[in-house]
Structure 1
C-alpha cells in the first residue's frame, strides 16, 4: 500500500464486519449495500493491503494470518473514530481539575481576585487559579496558552486578541478622614499644595501623568510605591493624599476607613476589559472562565 493512501472508512467497517460474520452476503445486508458492491470494496481492501485477507471455505470466509494480525489495529482505529465523532466540547467546572493563569494588575488582586476566588472555590473546587502580572510578556503568554486571560487596561495588546469590556473607571483621591486641611471637598488648590503618595505601577498611570502634564501640575511627591500594598494604611496614618482609579480607591477606603474625594484634575477614564487570544476563543474551559468573569464584573449584569 502506498504510504500516502489510507483505506476508506467503509473498507475498515467491511473488514471489521466480515471478520465476525464470515459472509459477504450478511455484511452487505448489515451495511445496506448490494453484494456486488461489497465484493468490489473487498477487492479494493485486498489491493491496499496486498493480501487476500479472507479465503472461501465450507465454513465461510476464513481470515488469513494477515487478517488476524490486522483486525486489532483496525478495531482500534474504528473505536477512535467513534470517540472522535461522539466528542463533546464541554467543560464541567464541578469535576474539572485544571489551573487557570490570569494576568492582572496588583490593584485587581485587591478588587477582583477575592470575589473571583470565592466564586471558583464554591462552584469549581478542583480549579486552581494563578495570578501573574501584566507586562511585556503578556501578549506572548496569551498566544502560547501559558496564560488564559488578561484583565485590566491593556491597550497595547496586538492583533489576534478578543476583548470584552467589564466596567469603566474614573479617578478619585484618597485622604485621611481626619485630614487637618481637607474637609468635605478636595479643591484643586489643596490638591496642588498637599503632599502625595504616587503609585509608579498600574496600567492606567500614564493617563494620570498625561493629565497632570496638560494641567501643568507638578505634585509634591513625598512617597513613591511600586504597588498598592500598604497604601491604605499610609493614607490613614498621614496627611498625604493619593490619586488612583475609583475601583481600587473605594476598595482601599472601605478597608482602611479613609475618605474618598472626587479628583479635582480632569483625568481621562478608561475601560477595564478581559482579553484572550483568538486561538482559545472556542476552548471550553476558557469560555467558562470568561463567562464567570463577565457574570461577576460586567457593568449592568
Structure 2
C-alpha cells in the first residue's frame, strides 16, 4: 500500500460483506457481481492491505487477526459515506433562527404578505421576514442568495430559475358601492365615460395597456398612482373606478366595502408563481419556505 493511497469503495463493501457472510459466493450475490469478479477484488484488497484477510476453512472464510482489527474502521468509513450521501442540513421551523428575504409585487404586500406573516409567527417564531421589490436586481439577488424567493408575475427571469405556479389571475373593475351611475353591469360605453384611477406599477400593468390599445379604449384617467397604496380609500370616497387583477381587487373590495364588476373587455390573464434559484433548490430552509407558500396560496386557484 502506497502512502496516501485510498482503497476503492467497492473493496471496502466487499470486506464488510465477506466478514459477515464468510462466503465469496454470498458476497458476490449481494454485490450483484460474478464470483470470479469478487475473487479478483479480494485479491486487490489483500494486496492493498498486505494481508490474506480471510483463510478458507471447512466452516467458510475465516478472518485473520488483521481483518478482525480492520473491520471496525472499515464499517466506520462506510457509515460515514452513507451519512454523507444522505446529508441534509436539518431545518426545524419551530426552533430555527434565520432571515428569509422575499421579493414581492406591490399587490402581494396586500394580498399575500399578511397571511404569510401570520403563518410564520405561529409556526416559526424565530424567523425574520424581509420584503424587497421585484425589479431588475431580482434575478441576481436569487442567484447570490440575497433573496430566497420571488413571488409574482415575473416572465423575464432567466435561466437557472425554478418556478411553481400558485394561482392564475384575470381582471376586474372596482367602484364605490354607492356609485351613482353603476346600478347595473359595467359596459364598455360606460367604462369609457367614467373617470379612472390608473396604477402605473404592477407586473400585469402592461397586459392591461395592451388590451386598452387593442380595444381602442382611451380611459379618462383622473389620478395615476405608483402602486396600490391608498387605492381602496380613494375608490371608497369618489366615483372613480380602477381596473386591476382579481386577487388584489377582491382584497381591497372586502376591506373598503367596494363593489366588483367584471372587466367589460378582454384582458390577457397571467399566472402568479414563486421563483427560486437552482443553487438553493435542495437547501432545506428554502424548500420549507416554498412548501409553506404553496400550501397557503395554491388554493387561490
Q: Could you tell me the TM-score, scaled by structure 1's length? A: 0.74
* C-alpha distance in 2 between matches for 1:6 and 1:268: 65
Q: Could you tell me which residue of structure 1 aligns to residue 126 of structure 2?
A: 126
- Structure 2 match to 1:8: 6
Contact 2:88 2:284 in 1 (8 A): no
Change in CA separation of 1:281 and 1:185 when aligned onto 2, cut-off 3 Å: same
Residues 1:88 and 2:84 aligned together: no
The 1:94/1:180 distance shift into structure 2, 3 A limit, reads: same
Please tell me whether residue 117 in structure 1 is matched to residue 117 in structure 2.
Answer: yes
| CA RMSD across the alignment | 3.3
SS at match of 1:298: helix
Q: Distance in 2 between matches of 1:8 and 1:254?
A: 68
Q: Given the superposition, is the C-alpha separation of residues 213 and 39 from structure 1 closer, same or farther in structure 2, using an over 3 Å criterion?
A: closer
- CA distance 1:8–1:190, shift in 2 (3 Å): same
Q: Which runs of 4+ in 1 moved over 2 A?
A: 5-10, 36-41, 81-90
- State the 1:178 CA deviation: 0.8
**CA offset at residue 265 of structure 1?**
1.7
**Bigger Cα displacement from structure 2, 143-152 vs 202-211:** 143-152
Quick one: distance in 1 between partners of 2:278 and 2:151? Answer: 16
User: In the alignment, which residue of structure 1 is the partner of 2:250?
Assistant: 250
Match of 1:268 in 2: 268
Q: In the alignment, which residue of structure 1 is the partner of 2:141?
A: 141
Instruction: Sort the Cα spacing of 1:85 and 1:275 in 2 relative to 1 into closer, same or farther, 3 A.
Output: closer
Change (3 A) 1:187 1:128: same
Unmatched runs of 5 consecutive residues or more in structure 1 = 11-28, 42-77
C-alpha distance in 2 between matches for 1:270 and 1:245: 9
Number of aligned residues: 250
Q: Which residue of 2 aligns with 1:184?
A: 184
Which runs of 5 or more residues in structure 2 are unaligned?
9-18, 23-41, 52-76
Distance 2:146 2:249 in 1: 31
Superposed displacement of residue 300, structure 1:
7.1
**What does 1:1-301 correspond to in 2, within 5 Å?**
6=4, 8=6, 40=50, 84=84, 87-299=87-299
Q: Distance in 2 between matches of 1:182 and 1:93?
A: 49
